[in-house]
Structures are given as C-alpha cells and as structure tokens.
Amino acid sequence: MIVFRLGKWTSSSQVFFVYERIYINGMWTPFCKIRKRYKSWFGYFHKPQPRSMYIKPLPTLWFENERGEKYIPTIDEIKEVKMPEGYNYLHSQFPTRLSHSILKLINQKDVDSCNHPSAKIRPTDGWVDDVEGRKCLKCGGTQVKKKDEKWSETKWNGNRSDEISRGDSGWSPDLVLAMTNSGDYELPDAILIAANSCSRCMNALAYQYGLDWGFQVGSEEWVKTGTSCQFCEFEVPEHQVQ
Ligand SMILES: [Zn+2]
Ligand SMILES: [Zn+2]
C-alpha cells in the first residue's frame, strides 16, 4: 500500500484531518479528507449508492470547549443564561435575521483639501510590528508608514470607507414563506420586505397572505398600532405622526 499524503491539519489538541490518497489493490483512492476517528480505509472502496439524505436541524446556539466538544443547551438553560462549566466558547447563528451595514464613503477630494488638524489625528491599530497607521477624524483620510519613517505631509489615502453602523432585524419565517408561495415575491425580496416592515405592516402582510395572525390594513387594530415605516408612512393618520 502506498500512502500519498498532501497535508495534515492539527489544532492544539488533536488532528483535524489528514488529506491523502492511497494506492491499494492496483488503484488509487480519490483524494480524501480522513478524520482521525476513521479506524480503517475500508469505507473508501465502497461505491457510494444513491440515497436520500436527511440532515438533522442544526442548533442556533451552543457552547464549545477547547477540545471542540459541543454542548447544546436546552431552552430552559438558555432562559436561565446558565454557562456550562469548562465551555468557554459560545457559538450562535441566526437564520432569520437580516444584516444591514452602513458604510461612510470617504471622498479623496475632501481628504486632499483637508488641513488634517493635529487635534483630530488618532493612531489606528492592528498593524504588524514595525508598521503604524493614523487617521484624520476631520476628513476620514488615513496614513500608514514604517516605524522609522516620517509621516508624509501630503499623502493621505481617501479611497476607503468606514463602517459606521451594522444592525440586524428579524423576519418571521411563516410570513416569508407565505409571501413567496403566493408567487408575488422571490424569496430574497420577501425577506427584505418582511425584515424592513414595522409591526403594523408585518401584521397587515400576515393577514393579507392568509396566516392565522395579523390584521387588515385600515382595521381598528391597524390604526391603533402606532408604528410607521417606509411602507406605511404615507398612510399614517395625521394625529399619529410623531
Ligand atoms: Zn483630514
Ligand atoms: Zn409600516
């Protein structure tokens, strides 16, 4: 048997997997990732049979310890905010949240015409050892230099952007599914609309798409719900505008 090894990945505690190819009985196996837990090569010579696949739903929140072992808390444990002992990583993933980011675009013209007052200049971090950077808060321009060089008086970089805000908003899966199934919207459009709706619009959509919650546009509840968003701002009765 010839073993042709391309690589081996290890963490501090164990082998993740080895990536290798084996020559046996006159043939090569395809390159395969072999986890340490496999005791033999036997499985790699089986011709895979077509079959259906069922993947168990994944957790949205779990703890992990240094050895990569998972601890999935129960709903009650989540409510009690209990940390299991020995687990110092918390993973969370959010399938029904829309992530929205706002970037401030820096304009090279503004940077070039700025006088970069020294009171507005701040060091930036995250650089490798002998490099340093700074930023002018007035124009948003940045500079980078080697530690033993002098700062340039004129060369400021303005072709960049700063993330000034990032936010998440949730969407209701039953509403998005109903909107998509109706044929009115593609899935991504339904998600964007549901996640950007105020409470009043979300309820109105739920009613319109036949869910067992929500209320009709123009109904008493609709008027009472004092929320407003880009979809209903022109419909809000005047006395409710704040
Ligand atoms: Zn400046
Ligand atoms: Zn609205």
Point out which residues pair with 124 in neighbouring strands.
133
For the CA of 217, the nearest ligand = 2
How far apart are the C-alpha atoms of 23 and 95, rounded to whole Å? 43
Ion ligand 2: protein residues whose beta carbon lies under 5 Å: 198, 200-201, 229, 231-232
Domain range list for the chain: 2-44, 61-92, 102-167, 171-240
User: What's the CA-to-centroid distance between 26 and ligand 1, angstroms?
Assistant: 69
Tens digit of pLDDT per residue, the chain (242 long)?
777 776 666 655 565 566 677 777 777 777 665 555 444 455 555 555 678 889 999 999 999 998 889 999 988 888 887 778 899 899 999 999 999 999 999 999 999 999 999 999 999 988 888 999 999 999 999 999 999 999 988 899 998 898 889 899 999 999 999 999 999 999 999 999 999 999 999 999 999 999 999 999 999 999 899 899 999 987 655 555 44
SS (H, E, C) 16-47: EEEEEEEEECCEECCCEEEECCCCCCHHHHCC
Position 240 scores a pLDDT of: 52
Query: How many angstroms is it from 95 CA to the middle of ligand 2?
Result: 23
CA of 165 from ligand 1 middle (Å) equals 21
- pLDDT, position 38: 42
Ligand lying closest to the C-alpha of residue 136: 1
Strand, helix or coil at 81?
coil
Cα distances (angstroms) measured from residue 50 to each of 30, 41, 80, 188, 197:
18, 21, 45, 32, 44
Q: How far is CA 223 from CA 35, 46, 217, in A?
A: 60, 65, 8
- Dump strand ranges (E) for 108-203: 121-124, 131-136, 142-146, 161-170
Ligand with the closest atom to the CA of 138: 1
Q: Which ligand is nearest to the CA of 205?
A: 2
How far, in Å, from the CA of 136 to the mean position of ligand 1? 5
